[in-house]
Structures are given as C-alpha cells and as structure tokens.
Amino acid sequence: MAYEVEAPKYVRLAQTIQRRIEDGTYAPGTRVPSENQLVQAFGMSRPTVVRALELLKRDGWLESRQGYGTIVRGRPAVVEEKDRRGLEALVRDESQTPGRLVDVGQVVVPARVASVLGLPKSANVLRRRFLVEEDGEAAELVSSYFPAGLVEGTDLAGGDALASGVREHLEARKKVRFDHVTERVSARLPDTAEVELLGLPDGVPVLSILVIACDASGQALQVSDVLLPADRQELEDTYRLS
C-alpha cells in the first residue's frame, strides 16, 4: 500500500489560488478576494490564508499595492524559465536517454490522476513508464498518463521509445499546444513493482512529483508521476528575502 504525505493547508490553498490564476479565474491586474472572503470561501483560518498569500507573493504570483490590496501578477517568468523535472518529462527524447521503456498499455486511471484529467475513477488511460538511469543506476521512474482522445493518431501506444519529446510529438500530431506545467510534490512508500524497478532498499520512501501539463485554457493534456528515490535526492531552492 502506498502512503502520501499531504501538504500543509496553506500550501494546498496557495496551489488552489495558483490554479485559479492559471485558468483565468483571477486575471492579471485584478485584486484577489480579501482575506475575509478567502476565509469564508475555503473554511480556513486567517493565519492559513495569510501564509498562503505570502507564499504566492514570494513566488511572484501576487503583489501588494499600497491602498489597493493584493494584485494578481500572473504566471511569473521565473516559473516558466526555471529548469524543472516537469519540463524534462515533456521534452525528453526517450531514444537518446540512458534507460529503458518499461511498459506501455491501458490501465485504470489512478485516483489523483483522474481528478486532474477530469475522468471518472473507472476510466482507462494509456500509461507509458520509462526508467531513467544514471551511471548504470536507476535514477527516476516516469509514469505518464494520457486520455484516450489524445492517443489516437500518435505513436504513444507503440512499444518503441519515442524519438522526440512527448510535447513535440503531440503538438505535431494532434495540433495541441502545451502552455504551462504545474508540479505537486509529495512523499510516499513505493509499491512492490516500484521498489524492484528503482532498486530500493526496504523502507526507503520515494519523492513523487506529479507533473500536470496543460494548454492555455488550463485543460490537462498529460499527467506524469516522476518517482525519485528519497535516499538519493537533495533538493535545493534559493529565493530573495523581501
């Protein structure tokens, strides 16, 4: 059984507000709801709301203007330009990447992927799993999920490694356009297959980066679950104090 460590309430609230900025609910240049309105709308305490807003200001999604309130800045350029594993999952040329395509086939969509893709929990989706290796050692396991309507007319269901990134392939074959990526990080214990593929010792957890690739309207086109052995990772982030 897999267990996930849920993010703190203020982080989840910040993620919700961020998604509303991305889908246009809170348009750039407009004011976000007041702290009182957010408390009532989400049923969270004022300290939780304040921490969520401060997190979004720190990351460049919001800004405070004297006498006007908290304003939406839109998606920060730093978020678009920063090298992230989500981008790697979209542009990776499987045929040139050390590792191997583990399997390709129809599976019942995992619950948290279903909610993002807007599918019922019993729906089938295509899953491609690719094991990335570094210096002959398993480095990450990438499970990418695609709704059926996006697979037809592509090479995604084939058993061969793609000779281009998924983004390039889908934009060429399906005439869709990827606009932005959201990443959700959690930690959990791996299942038996994941332990074997990643070569993990007993009891070692994995970091799960759920990569949600969307078009400009906010519709998810692809969801990838990037698993990293927690005992081999060191995550670092630097930001300026205001």
Query: What's the pLDDT score for residue 12?
Result: 85
Sole residue written with tokens 């989706």: 125
Query: What's the pLDDT score for residue 223?
Result: 95
Query: What's the pLDDT score for residue 130?
Result: 96
Indicate whether this model's pTM tops 0.85. Answer: no
**pLDDT lower than 50: segments of the chain:** 1-5, 78-83, 238-242
**What's phi and psi for 209, nearest 5 deg?**
-110, 105
Query: What's the pLDDT score for residue 59?
Result: 78
Query: What's the pLDDT score for residue 5?
Result: 43
Geometric angle at alpha carbon 237, from 13 and 91, rounded to 5°:
85
Of 192, 212, 238, 184, which is closest to residue 5 (Cα–Cα)? Answer: 184
What confidence tens digit (pLDDT) does each residue in 67-99 have? 778 899 877 754 444 446 677 888 889 999 999
Distance CA 158, CA 106 (A): 12
Distance CA 116, CA 211 (A): 10
